[in-house]
Amino acid sequence: VEWSGLFHDQGPLYDNHVEPTATQAVTLTLRTFKGDITSANIKYYDSADGQFHWVAMNWSANDATGNFDFWKGTVPASAAEKYYRFQVNDGSATAWLNAAGITSSEPSSGDFFVVPGFTTPAWMKNGVIYQVFPDRFYNGNTANDVTNGQYSYAGCATEKHAWGASVTSNAGGCNSAVFFGGDLAGVDQKLGYIKGTLGADILYLNPIFLSPTNHKYDTEDYLKVDPAFGTNTTLQALIGDMHSSSNGPRGYVILDGVFNHTGDTEAWFDRYHWSSVTGAYESQSSSYYSWYTFQSWPNSYSGFFGIASMPKLNYGSSGSAVRSAIYGSATSVVKTYLKAPYSIDGWRLDAAQYLDANGGDGSDATNHQIMAELRTAVKSANPDAEILGEFWGNAGPWTDNGEEWDGAMNYDGFMQPVSEWITGHDYGNGAASIPASQFDSWLRGTRAHYPTNVQQTMSNALGSHDTTRFGTRAGGDIWKTYLALIFQMTYVGTPTIYYGDEYGMQGGADPDNRRTFDWTVGTSTNSAVALASRLIAIRNAYPALRTGSFMTLLTDDASKLYAYGRFDAANRLAVVLNDDSVTHTVAVPVWQLSVTNGSRLVDQISGTSYTVQNGQVTLSVNGHYGAILAQ
């Protein structure tokens, strides 16, 4: 069997129902070299009966170039989740194909998923996220800036610093009480930049509810926007302007849901006795006592990573008061913001893996039960809302049954491989840059963790408020940001720009990764911003870059080149990336995409046009740059 002819994924040309209902059978297409095989089978596991089943495939057609055969087979409809792989035979040899790759012996993991009834939001698949850490983006209202002592009841002196001042020079170890004045009015005033200049249409805001710290991951009141960021009315105005199509595309808003823990100033806890409510910390007969978990009241209690200012919520069992307050009831936090007058479009679930009962760490079935209930609550308020979990590894346990999250922050399937390939930053594969072939197999392996509709809504960021800045990993080389942006905007998953990464903002670990946005650099005339804007426009122009197939075309470890196809019924694109510091001439095998000789392909970045000869396009690509060839 010629392995280089074999192809299948759940793109529109290879799977007729990527999000099947329980009554839709799924017809799968498998590609082989013409005449290469004598038989092909789908072997699928059906979770309803716990058995494997075989479906013989039939030859169906050739491609337009005559190089390939297409075989088809159908997995019958049912409500049950299924997993499939292919077996192909050429009379003497057998090969196996699944999402993890091609093998000569049968694989035991990495199968493609069929999850009937599971849909993820189309706007998330087709959008671009811009992530804002509100205190540091833009000060739109100086009247609400923090005043010294504003949150002094929380035990740390509040400090207002000048825009642009270093974030590392914080006094007294109270890093989180240092403010710069950014706010929601500022974000609203800069939507022309986010939606207009860049073309991003999804706003993800780090926490905005009342809390004494700049990051606000220690919530004091979930139903109140922090006064230093604005009012609940300011939030409504910002959401309204994101939803409006008058200042750019119709947009969406995702808020940070910090539901594993509250702050210790939350009235339910009230460690500093400011509230008239009797909090759990204040009395064992408090009606909120059971909302937290005390090992020894009052000073020993479960918290996020044991941090005293972040006491963990005790979710108890189904129907508990905490579950009801956070997501269950009509007036719960989750539903309040999903409904009018806010109408947010999704929640990013902070530290989602840890939500649990009785101070547990989330590693048992309780966490999944809570997440499934939370999904039901979210979708009941808005069926089109996004549930984006925070997890740093394989998030499959929360996504793959279609009952919990829609997607997750993609650290191990995007940020880490991109950084290891382009910057050599060590995430476990040594200090040197990994070869293109390893980059490709890393990407394939992590895609295989998820159903296709989850892959398409994974949040693909170069960095976040929890990591070093990509610009710093790249050693300040803006060309590495260019290359990373070209990959990000052409890869599978929702591109996510952490404010400032579009111009290569520098920054080390927390809190230095939260510097103030430099509005003298972040403008349409900045070369990286202009490239990001161009790339988003290209992504928006071609559905194939969002929901099309992904096919590896070339890995060249010596010259550090990588090329892949993105395609659907309407368009075939070939993306070429050069991770070397010098220009290379590269012959891209576009025959793999069934592009015919004599066809003209145009690089959507430079506008240069090329003609296909001998099944290839030959072009010269600058170091740390790329091309997006489209027919």
- CB closer to ligand ARE out of 190 and 215: 215
- Decide: helix, strand or coil at residue 544: helix
CA atoms lying within 13 Å on the CB side of residue 432: 7
> Residue 211: which of Ca ion, ligand ARE, none does it interact with, CB under 5 to 8 A by kind?
none
Strands 584-588 vs 617-621: parallel, antiparallel or unpaired: antiparallel
- CB closer to Ca ion out of 230 and 402: 230
Catalytic residue among 69, 218, 256, 390: 390
DSSP state letter for 383: T
622, 538, 631: which is closest to 577 by C-alpha? 622
Q: Considering the rule CB under 5 A, would residue 158 count as an interface residue with Ca ion?
A: no
Q: Considering the rule CB under 5 A, would residue 183 count as an interface residue with Ca ion?
A: yes
Cβ–Cβ < 8 Å for 100, 107: yes
Q: Considering the rule CB under 6 A, would residue 466 count as an interface residue with ligand ARE?
A: yes
Token pair of 115, please?
Answer: 């999850």
What are the residues facing 88 on neighbouring strands? 40, 95
CA distances 321 to 159, 260, 291, 327, 478, Å, are: 36, 15, 8, 10, 51
Least CB distance to ligand ARE at residue 535 (A): 26
Residues 97-156 contacting Ca ion, CB under 5 A:
139, 141, 144-145
- Considering only 184, 198, 258, 612, the residue that binds ligand ARE (CB under 6 A) is 258
- Decide: helix, strand or coil at residue 385: coil
390 annotated active-site: yes
- Considering only 215, 375, 515, 560, the residue that binds ligand ARE (CB under 6 A) is 215
Least CB distance to ligand ARE at residue 207 (A): 8
197, 189, 187: which is closest to 249 by C-alpha? 197
- Minimal CB distance to ligand ARE: which residue? 217
Count of residues binding ligand ARE (CB under 6 A)?
A: 16
Catalytic residue among 350, 386, 400, 404: 350
What are the start-end ranges of the H helices in 347-394? 365-381
Least CB distance to ligand ARE at residue 241 (A): 26
Least CB distance to Ca ion at residue 333 (A): 24
- CB closer to ligand ARE out of 490 and 494: 494
> Residue 345: which of ligand ARE, Ca ion, none does it interact with, CB under 5 to 8 A by kind?
none
- CB closer to ligand ARE out of 176 and 429: 176
> Residue 139: which of ligand ARE, Ca ion, none does it interact with, CB under 5 to 8 A by kind?
Ca ion
Q: Residue type at 197?
A: T
- Decide: helix, strand or coil at residue 467: coil
> Residue 351: which of ligand ARE, Ca ion, none does it interact with, CB under 5 to 8 A by kind?
ligand ARE
First to last CA, the chain: 30
- Considering only 269, 294, 301, 304, the residue that binds ligand ARE (CB under 6 A) is 304
DSSP readout, 270-322? -TT--SSS--TTT-TTSTTGGGB-EEETTTEE-BGGG-TTSBBB---STT-HH
Q: Considering the rule CB under 6 A, would residue 465 count as an interface residue with ligand ARE?
A: yes
Which residues, 6+ apart, have CB-to-CB distance to 78 below 8 Å?
A: 22, 46, 48, 116
- Report, in this order, helix, strand and coil percent for the chain, each rounded to 5: 25, 25, 50
> Residue 217: which of Ca ion, ligand ARE, none does it interact with, CB under 5 to 8 A by kind?
ligand ARE
Binding range to Ca ion, per CB under 5 A, among 182-190, 206-214, 424-432, 513-521: 182-190
- Considering only 350, 400, 404, 501, the residue that binds ligand ARE (CB under 6 A) is 350
- CB closer to ligand ARE out of 136 and 215: 215
81 annotated active-site: no
Query: CA–CA separation, 64 vs 76, rounded Å?
Result: 29
Residue ranges that bind ligand ARE, judged by CB under 6 A: 175-176, 215, 217, 258, 304, 307, 310, 350-351, 390, 392, 465-466, 510-511
Catalytic residue numbers read 350, 390
Where does this chain bind Ca ion (CB under 5 A)?
139, 141, 144-145, 181, 183
